[in-house]
Amino acid sequence: MPLHHLKTLRTRLQKNQPASQGTPVTFAGACPTFEVIALGVRSGVADGNLSSYLIRPLGTNEAVLCDAGTLGNGLKRAEAKGVLNDIPIMPNSALSRAGHVLKQTVRAYLISHSHLDHVAGLVFTSPEDTAKPLYALSQTNAILAEHLFNNRVWGAMGDKGPEPRIGKYSYHNMEPGQAQIVQGTGLTITAWPLSHASTTSTAFLIQHEGQAILYLGDTQADQADGPRNLHKLWEAIAPLVQNNTLNTIIMGATYPDSQPDDALCGQLRPKDLLASLRELGHICGGRHHIRGLRVIITHVKETFHDGECPTQQIYRDLQEGNDIGIHFLMAEQSARYLV
């Protein structure tokens, strides 16, 4: 990349600005392994911009989609901005590039939980999709099969649930902490449960050729009288952070620090997220192990209220409390991150 482009990218990162069309966000000193394309990044009323992240090892035509709140709209927007241009596609095809990515590049879905802002895009795009596995914890797959793809809310797209079944999607139940190879790829995935209000969410560790990236679905802070799922997750991934195998995490900060404790709906504020990351540093043996860790912030709640953009408010809260040297970046729809 030309020097003037690198300087422009560095300026945008310092100002927390998204990259221009098609230009990837990279990190100083990084030798990237993964491409992350944000098809959807928000929560709340922005129904065309809900949690959905395409993760692909660079140089391959193999990707997984972490959640699918927005899918078709996210792919079309990404194509229009040029962020899909590095993904190899079949020549001389009638499909658009977005169509190729949907049908050929995305090899599997990793669904953190069954809330609509994480699966709506999967539902609406399913008639045009190709056969794929759905990887999730058993309780999430059961909800999708029995209460979503059930011939009443939507067609029975899976291979389980009410008959008659279309069987396009195969439900693959994951056991916490047990690695699985994604069918037809060189990717290995591992799931851990997360606490999220009245349901169970999931964190997915994605590994390729000795490197890893971690995606967290919605989660709340650990409670003294609860299962402490975040603590267990940090214990599991701490060795990867210590040896710099894992240096990028995608996780949510839904509300600003001003949100009352009794109105969190199983989500995190910046102060909750920072407290949990400090615990990760402690588990790793000291904060120096997490200094420079990249955390891409997702799932900011969109509202109809006038005033300051919630993304800007949350970013300010994160930076003001950031005494541990974390590199925070607020996810932007159609942005492309090389990590």
Residue 278 neighbours by CB under 8 Å, 6+ apart: 287, 324
pLDDT for the residue numbered 16: 44
pLDDT for the residue numbered 9: 38
One-letter amino acid for residue 98 of the chain: A
What's 216's domain CATH number? 3.60.15.10
Task: Work out the mean pLDDT of the chain and round it to a whole number.
Answer: 92
Note whether residue 21 is domain-resident. no
pLDDT in tens, 233-258: 999 999 999 999 999 999 999 999 99
Q: Phi and psi at residue 6, in whole multiples of 5°?
A: -65, -40
Is the Cβ–Cβ distance between 315 and 269 less than 8 Å?
A: no
Which is it for the CA torsion 111, 179, 238, 197, positive or negative?
Answer: positive
pLDDT at 8 over 70: no
Note whether residue 127 is domain-resident. yes
Closest by alpha carbon to 245, among 285, 216, 209, 278?
209
More confident residue, 9 or 336: 336
Helix axes 310-320, 270-284, angle to 10 degrees: 40
Note whether residue 40 is domain-resident. yes
* Cβ-count burial 264-274 (b if 16+ within 10 Å, e if not): bebbbbbbbbb
pLDDT at 6 over 50: no
Note whether residue 19 is domain-resident. no
pLDDT at 39 over 50: yes
Range of the domain at 301: 33-338
Note whether residue 2 is domain-resident. no
pLDDT for the residue numbered 46: 79
pLDDT at 308 over 90: no
Q: Phi and psi at residue 247, in whole multiples of 5°?
A: -130, 5
Task: State the total domains in the chain.
Answer: 1
pLDDT in tens, 142-180: 999 999 999 999 999 999 999 999 999 999 999 999 999
What is the mean predicted confidence (pLDDT) over 130-134?
98
Note whether residue 232 is domain-resident. yes
Which pTM was predicted? 0.92
Is the Cβ–Cβ distance between 232 and 192 less than 8 Å?
A: yes
Note whether residue 20 is domain-resident. no
**pLDDT-based confidence at 1, cuts 50/70/90?**
very low
pLDDT for the residue numbered 232: 98
What is the mean predicted confidence (pLDDT) over 225-231?
94
Note whether residue 7 is domain-resident. no
